[in-house]
Chains A and B, each alone.
Chain A
Amino acid sequence: MTNKETSPAGNGKPKLAIYWAASCGGCEIAILNIGDKILAVDEAFEIVFWPCAADFKYEDVRNYPDHSIDLCLFNGAIRSSENEEMAHLLRQKSKVLVAFGSCAQEGCIPGLSNLTSASDTFRAIYMDNPSIDNPAATLPQTVTTVPEGELHIPVFYNTVRSLDQVVPVEYVIPGCPPEPPQIWAVLEAIVTGAPLPAPGSTVIGASHLAVCHECPLEKHEKTIERFYRPYEITPEPGLCLLEQGLMCMGIATRGGCGALCPRVGMRCEGCYGLLDGVEDQGANMISAIASVVNVGKPGDDEAELERRIGVAMDSIVDPAGTFYRFNMAHSLLHRVKTGNNGDVQNRGSETA
C-alpha cells in the first residue's frame, strides 16, 4: 500500500484520504469488504491519509497544500473538538469531501446521545455502567497536570453533529455502513471519470426511491392494529413486514441497500436515511404509520378510540430509538432541551 513517503508530491494519480471520526469503524470494514477491488483502488488512487490502514500523522495532512486531496471519504459524526478540527482540516485540503456513512451523513447512533447531555453520557459510561468500578468517580478531563507538564485531550461536545452541519460537503454516501457494491460503484465512477451529479450534500451510491421499491415482499393496503418487536412474532414469509406489525422503516428509508434486511424477515431499521425532499425521516415515518393504524373510525366511542390508540402506542417500544435511530442529529428535533430551566443547550462548543 502507498505510504506517506511518496505523497503528496505525486505520481499523477488522484489522491485519496479516508478518515474516521465519531463512528464504530464499520465504515472502514465496509470499504475493505469491496474485496480484491481494494487493489484496484490502490491502483487508481494515491492514498495520502488513512489512519486506520496506514501510518499518517495529522501533521502530514497539515503540510499538504490546500485542495491537494482529490477525494476524501469522511466517516463518523462530529462529537469532539478533535473530530471538528479534522473536519475543517480535511475540508481545507480536499477538492471533494464525502460524508461517508450514516454517522457523517446524519449523526447515526452517536447522534442518539443528543437525547441527553454530555455529562450524563459520561456518567453512564464511566460511573453507572454495570461493568465499571469507579469509586473515585474519575472522569476524563480536558486538561490534566502531570509532573511533566499539561496533558490535553479533545473536548467532548454536548451535541453530536453531522459532517455537513460543520463543513460543506460535496457528496453523501449513506448507509450504516454503506453497502460494498455501492462503495465500489462510486469509486469506479470516479476512477473512470463518469459524470457525477451536481455537488452540494448530494447523495450518491444509493437509490432515489424508498427501500420498498427494491423489497420483494408483497404489499397491500395497510391497516395495522398494533406493532410487534421482532422476537414477538415470526413473520409470514413473502408478506410486507410492516403490514404484519413489524416497524419496518423501509417505507421512509432510502433504498440502495437492496432491501437486505426485509428480504430475510428483519425489519428495516432505516440506516440509509431520508429520501430527497424529506425534511425529517422519523417524522415522515411517524406520520405514515399514524395514518394506517386502525384504531376505529371517526364517530366511534371516544374512550374506546383513546384506549385503542393507547394499545397501538404502547406497542411501539423506544420510539426515539426506532424512528430516529440514525437521523436524530440531522432531524428537525436535532437534540432535546436539557437543564431544569428548559434552556436550550445545543451549542456545539459546549462541553461536558
Chain B
Amino acid sequence: MSEERVGVYVCHCGTNIAKTVDVQDVATWAAGQPHVTVARDYKFMCSSLGQEMVEQDIQEQGLTRVVVAACSPHMHEKTFQGACERAGLNRFMFEMANIRELNSWTTKDRESATQKAKSMVRGAVERVVHHRPLDMLPVPINPNTLIVGGGIAGITAALDIANAGYHVYLVEREPSIGGHMAQVDKTFPTLDCAACILTPRMVDVGQHPNITLLSYSELEQVDGHVGNFTVRVRKKARFVNEALCTGCGDCIEKCPGKTLDEVFEVGLGYRKAVYKPFPQAVPKYPVIDTESCIFFQRGKCKACELVCPTHAIDFTQKDEYLQLQVGNIILATGYDLFDARTIPQYGYGRLANVFTSMEFERMVNAAGPTDGQIVLRDGVTPPKSVGIIHCVGSRDKHYHEYCSRVCCMYSLKFAHLIHERLPDTEVYNFYIDIRASGKRYEEFYHRVLEEGTHFIRGRVAEVTDAARMPGEEGKLIIQAEDTLIGKQRRIPVDMVILSTGVQSRHDSHEVAQLFGMGCDFNGYFIERHPKLDPVLTMSDGVFIAGACQGPMAIPETVAQAGSAASQVISLISQGTLMMEPIRARINPDKCSGCRICNNLCPYHAITFHADRKVSEVITAMCQGCGACVSACPSSAITGAHFTAQQVMSQIEGILWDVRETIPLMAR
C-alpha cells in the first residue's frame, strides 16, 4: 500500500469550483500528502486535454491510483474511469472527490470551502489506495420490452420498438388503449381531430405482430435488473373470451344494464354494463363491469350470452396472471386531472353549470354524449356567455405550485371552439399569465384574441349563484380581480369551465416503489438528469416517457416516447451489457446463517441454503445497494468497491485534521 503512487487532479470547473475553492492551494497541499506522487489543478479536467493529462501522468509517472476532485461522480466518474483505462489502469483504481455539488456550490466562504476540499481530497486519497481492480460483468439483454401505459406515449414507444423488430408487451389498465388523448376533441394549436390522428396508431398497435397488447391488465410485481426483468401482470377478467369475440357489439346493444360512465365520459354520459369505452377502442373486445351487470348483481339476465353469435361471453372467467421476461421497461403511466372539487369556492359539484375542462372536451367532441353540442347541464340550452378559469389547481401554493403547461392552450382552444359553434356567445378567459411558448402557440393566442374573447388578468376569487346586482339573477357570477385595471369585477355568465391542471397519478409512489426508483414531491417520476437524461431513471433499464415525468403536452410526450424507444433499441442492439461489478458477496466461511439479510434485499438477490446454513447473494440480481452489507452482524458480506476498509479509510482521511486517536499504547 505504501508504494502506491497517487495522482491528484483538482478541477476549476471554469469558475464553478475555482470561485469558491482555492484550487491551487488544494493542489499544492495535496502534493505533500501521503501516497501522492503528483498533484495538479486544471481549468476543465473533463476536457480532452484534462483527460490526456491524467493518461500521460499514469504512463510517465507510473501512477497506480487517480483522484479527481471535481463534480459529482454522476457527472464524470465514467469519463475519468475511461481515461484511467486508456492509460492501462483498471477503471476502479480511481476515486472522485465531489468538491462542486458538495462544496463550492454550497457556500461562499472561500476559506472553509478550501479546507473542506482538502479534507475530501485526503479522504479520496486514503480510500483509493485500498481500491482493488474489478472487472465489469457482462450480462445478456433480453430483447423483449415492457411498456406500462397505453396512452399516446406508450403507443408511440411501442410502435417505434416494434417497428425496429423487437417484441413489446404493452400493459394498459383500462379496457382500451388511447389514454387521455382519446377523450380529447381537437388538439391545439392546429385543431387536428385528436381521434383522427390517434386511432390509426391504436389500430397499428392492435395489429402489430411484434406487440402483445395486454389491456385491462395491471402490473403486480417486478424482479430482476436491466437486461433481465421478470414481471408479473394481472390480466383482469373481461368475462369475454378474446379468442372468440369478433367485436360485433351485439352484446353491448342488447345489454339492459346502464350506468354512468365516470371514466371515459367523466360522468357526462352513460354506458352499458358490457361496454367498450369508445367505439374505436383497441382491442375491440368489450368488458363486463360486474358492478353494474344485472347477472353479477342479481344472478339473472345473461342477455349478452344469449345474443353473442360466437359464444364469447364467459361469466366464469377469472383474473389471469402472466409472467413476462423482458430486458427493458418503459413507464408511460401518464397523469391524473386535478379534482376540481378540491377548490369549493369554484362551485364544482355544487353549481350545476360549472364544468371541468375534461367534461367540456367530451361535450364538444362530436362523438361525445351531447354529439358536440355545447349546452348547459339541462342538456338543451346553449350558453350565452362562458367564463373559462385558468390555473385551477396549478400555480397555487395551496394545491400545485407548478404550471400544468397545457391549460392555457386548451383554454384558448375552448374559446375558439365556442366561438365556432356559438358565434353569439361571449367568452371570458380569467388568466394569470398566458403561457403560449410552443411552436405556433402565440399565433393561436392572437387568433383567439381577434375572435373577440375577453381576457381578464387575475385569479378568480369565487364562482357564486348569489346575485347581488341587476343582471346577475339566474347566472353564475365570477368574482375576480382584474389586475390590469386594478379593480374587482363580477362577470355574470351561464357556464363556467374550470381549466383543471394535471397532477401525478394517484398511485405513482407505489409504481415507483415497484421499480425501485424515486418520485419528486409532486409524485412525478424522477429522471436521471433533468437536462441530459430526461427519459432515463436511476434504475438501469427503466425508462420514463410523457406526463408521468412532469406535465407536458402531446408533442413533447411523443418526443420523449421516441427518445425512450431509441434508448431501449440501442441497448437491445448491443446484445450484452457491461454491468458495474459493484456487488455484494457473502463469505460462506464467515456466514453464521443468522438470516438477518434474508428479507431485506430490495432486489430479492439473497437466497438461504438450508442444507449448508449459509446465505448467498446472487450476483446477477444484486444491484450493489449495500443494504445487506451494513446489516450483516458478522460483517460476512462485503460490498465490492465499498469495503469496510475503503469506507473507514475515507472517513479517517476526511477527518485528517481533527481526528483524535485513542491513546493506544501510550501513557
Contacts and interface: CB of A to CB of B under 8 A. Distances in A.
Interface stretch (B226-234, B379-387, B629-637): B629-637
A220 B597 CA distance: 11
Contact of B662 (A168, A277, A346): A346
Contact of A219 (B594, B633, B644, B667): B594
A347 B595 contact: no
Interface in B622-667: 627, 630-635, 644, 648, 660, 662-667
Interface stretch (A15-23, A184-192, A279-287, A304-312): A279-287
B660 A344 contact: yes
Contact of B634 (A278, A299, A347): A278
A54 B635 CA distance: 43
Given A167-B665, A221-B598, A298-B513, A287 B590 contact: no
Interface string A134-169: 000000000000000000000000000100011110
A274 to B, nearest CB: 9
Nearest to B591: A209
B613 interface: yes
Contacts of B627: 291
A284 B510 CA distance: 31
B600 A291 contact: yes
A161 B597 CA distance: 33
A80 B315 CA distance: 85
A213 B648 contact: no
B633 A284 contact: yes
B595 A220 contact: yes
B593 interface: yes
B654 to A, nearest CB: 15
A292 interface: yes
A161 B666 CA distance: 11
Contacts of B608: 221
B592 interface: yes
A290 B608 CA distance: 20
B662 A291 contact: no
A349 interface: yes
B590 A334 contact: no
A349 B663 CA distance: 9
A210 B634 contact: yes
B633 A252 contact: yes
A209 B590 contact: yes
Contact of A209 (B510, B592, B662): B592
- The contact size tier of chain B is 20 to 34
Contacts of B590: 208-209, 275-277
Contacts of B663: 161, 165, 346-349
Nearest to A278: B635
Given A210-B633, A211-B592, A251-B596, A168 B665 contact: yes
Contacts of A292: 596, 599-600, 631
B592 A213 contact: yes
A98 B139 CA distance: 50
A73 B667 CA distance: 22
A315 interface: no
Given A251-B633, A349-B667, A222 B599 contact: yes
Interface string A341-352: 000101111000
Nearest to A274: B635
B623 to A, nearest CB: 16
A90 to B, nearest CB: 15
A275 B635 contact: yes
B511 to A, nearest CB: 11
A174 interface: no
Contact of B633 (A167, A168, A285, A344): A285
Contacts of B320: none
A222 B664 contact: no
B509 interface: yes
A84 interface: yes
Nearest to B509: A299
B109 interface: no
Nearest to B663: A348
B306 to A, nearest CB: 47
B60 interface: no
Interface string A119-140: 0000000000000000000000
B667 A210 contact: no
Contacts of A347: 663
Contact of A277 (B599, B635, B667): B635
A208 B598 contact: no
B589 interface: yes
Nearest to B512: A299
A266 B600 CA distance: 26
Given A208-B589, A287-B630, A348-B667, A250 B594 contact: yes
Judged by DSSP, the binding face of A is: loop
Given A251-B592, A251-B594, A277-B590, A287 B631 contact: yes
Interface string B168-210: 0000000000000000000000000000000000000000000
Contacts of A161: 662-663
A76 interface: no
B662 A334 contact: yes
A317 interface: no
A275 B590 CA distance: 9
Nearest to A85: B667
A166 to B, nearest CB: 7
Contacts of A290: 631
Interface in A189-222: 208-213, 219-222
Contacts of A251: 592, 594, 596, 633-634
A213 B613 CA distance: 8
Nearest to B613: A213
B662 A165 contact: yes
Contacts of B592: 209-213, 251, 255
A252 B597 CA distance: 13
Contacts of A291: 596-597, 600, 627, 630-631
A288 interface: yes
A222 B596 contact: yes
Contact of B596 (A84, A211, A276, A288): A288
Contacts of A84: 667
A92 interface: no
Interface in A278-337: 278-279, 284-285, 287-288, 290-292, 297-299, 334
B589 A219 contact: no
A323 B48 CA distance: 53
Interface string A220-250: 1111000000000000000000100000001
A246 to B, nearest CB: 14
Given A168-B665, A276-B590, A346-B662, A209 B598 contact: no
Nearest to B598: A221
B595 A279 contact: no
A168 B663 CA distance: 13
A219 B634 contact: no
Contacts of B662: 161, 165, 334, 346
Contacts of B648: 279
A107 to B, nearest CB: 11
B644 A279 contact: yes
Contacts of A299: 509-510, 513
Given A165-B664, A291-B631, A348-B663, A213 B593 contact: yes
A17 B594 CA distance: 38
A299 B518 CA distance: 11
A180 B527 CA distance: 61
A88 B509 CA distance: 62
26 contacts: A161-B662, A165-B662, A165-B664, A165-B665, A167-B665, A209-B591, A212-B593, A213-B592, A213-B593, A213-B613, A219-B593, A219-B594, A222-B596, A252-B633, A252-B634, A276-B590, A277-B590, A284-B633, A284-B634, A284-B635, A288-B633, A291-B597, A291-B631, A292-B600, A344-B660, A347-B663
Sort A-B residue pairs by CB-CB distance and give the 5 closest, nearest first: A210-B592, A252-B633, A291-B631, A288-B633, A213-B592
Given A210-B592, A210-B594, A346-B663, 5 more contacts: A165-B663, A251-B634, A278-B634, A284-B632, A284-B635
